[in-house]
Amino acid sequence: MLDPAQGIHAPNSDPAALAEHIRPLIAGNWKMHGMAPQLSEIEAVAASVKATPPPADVLICLPATLITRAVQTAAGRFAIGGENCSAQISGSFTGDLSAEMLKDAGARAVIVGHSERRQYHGETDAIVAAKAKAARRAGLLAIICIGETNAQRLAGKALSVCAEQIAGSVPDGMTASGTAIGYEPLWAIGSGHMPTPEQIIEMHTHIRQCLTHCLGAEGKKLRILYGGSVKSSNARAILALPEVGGVLVGGASLKAADFLAICGATPVSA
């Protein structure tokens, strides 16, 4: 099976070096935005990544309707992903898309368990885990999202809520090359409110401990992305924090210029 992370790395990356040191992942999430005219943003990202390759793996997750065209437009300069998948391979599930279908369309990754899926579609940890397994089965990088609400944080439960989500949403046997965690505090998504650097470090360190507990050595290497109001103005500081292996970017991924500024904020030594 193709290493799911392969397509996420720059084409000329040395696989041996990458195996030892996984590069940061800058992942966009367009959510339910984008039609044919917005493919020009994909074209602009591809042109810039070709001209000035960032020291990071670059991915944009898109509505399924755009994936095939975006894959053609990106021309292998960076990876395209989906935003959700079914846990099933195929069958009578009208309106659903399997991980295999996303792969067939050219996707290299899929977001599972985004808080908007958990909130508006009732996705439980068990459903998210089944979707993560489906991504693994199809050879897609699974970006498994977790994060606490504001009420949970105010109640002092942020760490325990995220530990519980990891225990329930990250299946046994997930690998570092096939999985990333997206830590997205719900109160920071689309709000402009950011956790402090100390809060991000505390949570990412805690997530690392949880992952090491469930996945052993793979859990030590797996990338933990921060998501929630990431912009070009704060990306450099976030990406420099310990245990931050990349970012998951919503609103600021819609415009190539904004997204490229975030890609360019990756520490060069990373």
Question: Which is nearer to ligand PGA, 152 or 229 (by Cβ)?
Answer: 229
Helix, strand, coil share of the chain (percent; to 5): 45, 15, 40
Cα separation, 74 vs 205, in Å, equals 34
Question: Which is nearer to ligand PGA, 193 or 220 (by Cβ)?
Answer: 193
Question: Which is nearer to ligand PGA, 22 or 247 (by Cβ)?
Answer: 247
Question: Which is nearer to ligand PGA, 10 or 56 (by Cβ)?
Answer: 56
| Residue tagged active-site, from 9, 100, 114, 123 | 114
Q: Give the DSSP per-residue string, 138-185.
A: HTPEEEEEE---HHHHHTT-HHHHHHHHHHHHS-TT--TTTEEEEE--
Question: Which is nearer to ligand PGA, 91 or 192 (by Cβ)?
Answer: 192
Cα separation, 56 vs 2, in Å, equals 20
Least distance in Å: CB of 269 to ligand PGA? 25
**Active site (annotated) includes residue 41:** no
**Active site (annotated) includes residue 184:** yes
| Residue tagged active-site, from 41, 123, 148, 184 | 184
Q: 213: closest CA among 162, 249, 269?
A: 162
Which value, to the nearest 10 degrees, does the dihedral of the CA atoms of residues 253, 268, 53, 175 take?
A: -70
Least distance in Å: CB of 194 to ligand PGA? 10
Cα separation, 114 vs 44, in Å, equals 26
Least distance in Å: CB of 159 to ligand PGA? 21
Between the alpha carbon of residue 114 and those of residues 83, 128, 162, 266, the distances in Å are 8, 9, 13, 24
Least distance in Å: CB of 93 to ligand PGA? 25
Q: 143: closest CA among 65, 74, 225?
A: 225
Least distance in Å: CB of 188 to ligand PGA? 6
Residues forming contacts to ligand PGA in the complex (CB under 6 A) are 29, 184, 189-190, 227-230, 248-252
Q: 25: closest CA among 156, 208, 180?
A: 180
Catalytic residues, by residue number, are 114, 184
